[in-house]
Amino acid sequence: MEAYHQVVASLPLWLRPPLLKIPSQTAAYVHEIRLRSGGPIVLVVNGSPTVTVENLILTQSQIEEILFVLCGGSLYAHETEIAQGYVLLPGGHRVGIGGKYVQDQTGNVVLQKVTSLNLRIARFQAGSLEPVLQNIVASPFSTLLIGGEPGSGKTTTLRNIVTYFSQNKELCTVIDERGEIFPYGMYGQTGCDCIQGLNKITAIEMALRTLGPRVLLVDELVSMQETQLLEMGAHTGVNLIITMHASTLLELEQKQQVQYLLAHKILRYACILMGRASPGAVREVKQYW
């Protein structure tokens, strides 16, 4: 519930009262606050959307004001994040931005008009790993790939794995490009090294070259270049833990990056999480060799 209140406190004063009226037992399970121009406030609770204030319809000017306040009064200070479709709030909470973007000939992206905001609430309570994952990471696992739909608990699972390694005094490094896995200043408490603020390609190279991890954790693997760099790490004996968006094992295995890892005998385990209704719970695990 404290995480929910932290996010609400970042909103304009006029918007806070209706969001603070919801019961505490509901607030503790809110994963997202969705705000849209021309629409009501929608809370996503355990994966299900619920309209919280039916008679409050947000206007375009209100959505623009909300984004301005979330950026601390300076859109310019967050222009790099906004160009990637989000703003990161203190505490690791992320605001996804929907609207009209324009891209110039050099590839620079600018938000022209914001029409919706999705405030995703980050909760950092330490939890225990499910036995099936604990058994995997307790052995030489080479590479573990964790797949799940948005909101299924991939990032939470990474945090719990880091906690497990810290308790067992294992050297691990987290590539945290957007500062979502551990908010700034928090990762020191985990006993891991963390590289934040850099694109994953640069950060992976830096981690392998300078930090000497036994385990490297990478959230949201996207490109083939990132995948090939991770292959280099695997060949030096580093165990890899990667997350990707996918709702089934079949969907995961059809991704180009996963096919590459499988073809080069790098990927040993893949698991799929249950989904929004049970964040962090494992649905299925597959061992490849």
Chain segment 80-90, per-residue pLDDT in tens: 889 989 998 88
Residue of 222, 226, 215, 221 lying closest to 190 (CA atoms): 215
Residue 168 predicted with pLDDT over 90: no
**Tens digit of each residue's pLDDT (9 = 90 or more) over 115-131:** 999 999 887 655 678 88
Q: What is the pTM of this model?
A: 0.73
Residue 273 predicted with pLDDT over 70: yes
Instruction: For residues 18 and 246, give the distance between their C-alpha atoms in angstroms, rounded to a whole number.
Output: 35
The single residue listed with the structure tokens 């967050």 is 78
**Tens digit of each residue's pLDDT (9 = 90 or more) over 209-262:** 899 898 999 988 888 999 988 888 888 888 999 999 999 999 999 999 999 999
Q: Is 30 in a helix, a strand, or coil?
A: strand
Are 147 and 271 a contacting pair, CB within 8 Å? yes
Based on its alpha-carbon atoms, the radius of gyration of the chain, rounded to whole angstroms, reads 20
Instruction: For residues 237 and 133, give the distance between their C-alpha atoms in angstroms, rounded to a whole number.
Output: 20
- pLDDT band (50, 70, 90) for residue 98: very high
* pLDDT of amino acid 188: 54
Compute how many other C-beta atoms are within 10 angstroms of the C-beta atom of residue 58: 20
* pLDDT of amino acid 183: 66
Instruction: For residues 9 and 285, give the distance between their C-alpha atoms in angstroms, rounded to a whole number.
Output: 39
Q: Is 155 in a helix, a strand, or coil?
A: helix
The amino acid at 75: L
The amino acid at 185: G
- pLDDT band (50, 70, 90) for residue 189: low
* pLDDT of amino acid 287: 94
State the DSSP code for 128: P
Are 271 and 244 a contacting pair, CB within 8 Å? no
Beta strands in the chain (DSSP E): 30-36, 41-45, 48-53, 86-88, 94-103, 109-120, 143-148, 172-176, 193-196, 215-218, 239-245, 269-273, 282-287
The amino acid at 156: T
Compute how many other C-beta atoms are within 10 angstroms of the C-beta atom of residue 289: 9
Compute how many other C-beta atoms are within 10 angstroms of the C-beta atom of residue 49: 11
> CA dihedral in degrees (124, 125, 130, 135; nearest 10)?
70
**Neighbouring residues of 172: CB distance < 8 A, sequence distance ≥ 6:** 162, 165, 166, 192, 193, 213, 214, 215, 216, 217
